[in-house]
A = this chain, B = another copy of it.
Amino acid sequence: MVVSAGYLPRIAAISHTRVCVQQLEPRVGDPAYNRGLTLNAIEEAAAGGAQVVVLPELANSGYMFESAEEAASLAISVDDPLIAEWADAAAGYELVLAAGFCERGEDGHTYNSAVVIDPSGVRAVFRKLHLWDREKLWFRPGDALPPVLETSVGRVSVVICYDLEFPELVRTVALAGTELLLVPTNWPLAERPADERPGEVINAMMAARINRMAIAAADRGGVERGQPWTGGSTIVDPDGWAAGENPWRAGEPRRPGPVFADLDLSRTRDKRWTELADVFADRRPELYGAVASVDDLALR
């Protein structure tokens, strides 16, 4: 492939959106502590000028449950006072907020969910579709695609942690016009080669690149009941490069706290690489769709 003489110049940014991902260390089973932690984090992000704030997965409850009963005991409904406090903060600071929480559904089941809030209140609750590992023992998976929401900063959507590793899902929300994908996450620290970013961060970069969509992932840090976390909070621009990220190189200290970046989300509306190459228009869905099962593929 070749960059044509007509390679598109990117339009000089007119307006930027300040995004903040807050890397927190919630304490499992300590909702009072986590309440203050999350409210302070929103305040700190707002003080830094954030128009969008993302908090980690399961920010109200912590993650390392020992039983389904423990998870259920820490679950809250979307009507919980904590969600109302988050909404008050979002309204007061005039920002869009996505936060992971341990949800008790109206059906009595426990879900790994995220709430998206803007100054008008709770806009949507999304329930994680792809449950990782022992989450399958604690949670019921969601059964609905993520919402795509028109907000003051543009069109946003939300997925949770392992959901982001399923390119079919990411493509789906991108095709719906998502400009900024919000990702509350808890990435367990995994072995990786020296001087490489966490694989989950690289995955986020590529999910952005191939869809020409921005992604903001708030990871958690610290160690919880023996589980060390990656601390890989990252904001990715629509070219797939990290516009802001926590330190990740060997020897750089992991630390909680905010990562900020200013994104020109209007760029996400142009899916062209060049005059004649467009990441959406160049798709061949008639072929992908033709594979009802892998048995339809020529295997010789």
- A interface residues (Cβ-Cβ under 8 A, vs B): 1-4, 63-64, 123-124, 129-137, 141, 143-145, 147-150, 161-162, 165-173, 175-177, 185-190, 192-193, 196, 199, 202-203, 205-207, 209-210, 227, 239-241, 273-277, 279, 282-285, 287-288, 290-291, 294, 297-300
Contacts and interface: CB of A to CB of B under 8 A. Distances in A.
B241 A287 contact: no
A32 to B, nearest CB: 23
Given A3-B133, A199-B239, A297 B173 contact: yes
B132 A1 contact: yes
Contact of A145 (B144, B283, B297): B297
Contacts of A173: 297
User: Which of A133, A149, A175, A300 has most chain B Cβ within 10 Å?
Assistant: A133
Contacts of A227: 2-3
A8 to B, nearest CB: 11
B168 A276 contact: no
The list of the 5 closest CB pairs from A to B, nearest first, reads A1-B132, A167-B167, A206-B206, A168-B288, A176-B297
Contacts of A4: 133-134
Contacts of A282: 130-131, 162, 166
A186 B129 contact: no
9 contacts: A2-B134, A2-B188, A4-B133, A147-B298, A165-B210, A168-B168, A168-B171, A173-B297, A175-B297
Contact of A202 (B169, B193, B206): B206
Given A209-B203, A294-B176, A297-B176, A193 B241 contact: yes
A287 B210 contact: no
A134 B276 contact: yes
Contacts of A131: 282
Contacts of A206: 202-203, 205-207
A177 B287 contact: no
A4 B226 CA distance: 11
Given A288-B169, A300-B149, A2 B276 contact: no
Contacts of A150: 299-300
Nearest to A293: B175
A193 B218 CA distance: 23
A300 to B, nearest CB: 5
A149 to B, nearest CB: 5
A131 B274 CA distance: 12
Contacts of A169: 284, 287-288
A135 B3 CA distance: 11
Given A169-B284, A172-B291, A287-B129, A148 B2 contact: no
Given A2-B134, A130-B283, A134-B276, 15 more contacts: A1-B132, A2-B63, A3-B227, A123-B300, A124-B300, A129-B284, A133-B273, A141-B284, A145-B290, A145-B298, A147-B299, A150-B300, A165-B279, A202-B240, A206-B207
